């Protein structure tokens, strides 16, 4: 399954799609990136005269790239035009270290911890363009083709 096919199967649209590209994907993990453009809807008012990307958006970006994209890849033999992926976040535990500012590009690196009974748990980290650790943790979700 090609990266573009995976991105097209994501159940998100702008302005809530936080995946620009997938640079590496296998049975064991995924690496992808996203650039937070300065006109994103969540920068207005967060924070006045010093906008930063909210932690919930960083978590969502890690979930979309690190869990959902990987889950679609793992279910590639079950997904079709009739059976689309359905996703539900089940848990997350994220530690934040650095802010992400408008026009900053990040990279998400995710490693599968396990995938059984349609539950996918991944160890994820986000790096900025200087290769500094922005945040890291674990994210779990349920993914099925239905």
Residue 44 belongs to a domain with what CATH number?
A: 3.10.129.10
What gap in Å lies between CA 73 and CA 113, rounded to an integer? 15
Structure confidence at residue 69 as a pLDDT band (50, 70, 90) = very high
Secondary-structure breakdown of the chain: helix, strand, coil percentages, each rounded to the nearest 5? 20, 40, 40
Q: With 80 as the cut, is the pLDDT of residue 70 above it?
A: yes
Whether residue 66 is predicted with pLDDT greater than 90 in this model: the reply is yes
46 as an active site residue: the answer is yes
**Structural domains of the chain, count:** 1
Structural domain range at position 96: 3-145
Please give the full DSSP string across 111-123, using - where no structure is assigned: EEEEEETTEEEEE
* CA distance readout (Å), 32 to 46, 83, 116, 124: 25, 24, 23, 11
pLDDT of residue 84: 86
Least trusted range by pLDDT, from 21-35, 76-90, 117-131, 132-146: 76-90
Q: What is the pLDDT of residues 34-61, one digit of tens each?
A: 999 999 999 988 888 899 999 999 999 9
Task: Give the residue-averaged pLDDT of 58-75.
Answer: 97
Q: Which of 46, 118, 121, 136 is catalytic?
A: 46
Q: State the chain's mean pLDDT as an integer.
A: 95
Condensed to tens digits (0 to 9), the pLDDT of residues 1-23 reads 899 999 999 999 999 999 999 99
């Amino acid at each position: 399954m090609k990266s573009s096919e995976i991105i097209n199967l994501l159940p998100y649209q702008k302005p809530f799609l936080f995946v620009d590209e997938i640079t590496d994907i296998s049975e064991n993990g995924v690496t992808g990136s996203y650039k937070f453009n300065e006109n994103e809807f969540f920068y207005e008012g967060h924070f006045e005269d010093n906008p930063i990307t909210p932690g919930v958006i960083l978590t969502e970006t890690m979930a979309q790239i690190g869990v959902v994209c990987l889950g679609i890849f793992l279910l590639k033999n079950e997904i079709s035009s009739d059976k689309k992926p359905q996703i539900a976040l089940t848990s997350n535990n994220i530690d934040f270290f650095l802010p992400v500012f408008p026009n900053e590009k990040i990279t998400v690196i995710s490693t599968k911890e396990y995938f059984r009974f349609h539950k996918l748990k991944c160890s994820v980290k986000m790096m900025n363009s200087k290769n500094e650790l922005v945040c890291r943790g674990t994210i779990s979700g349920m993914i099925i083709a239905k």
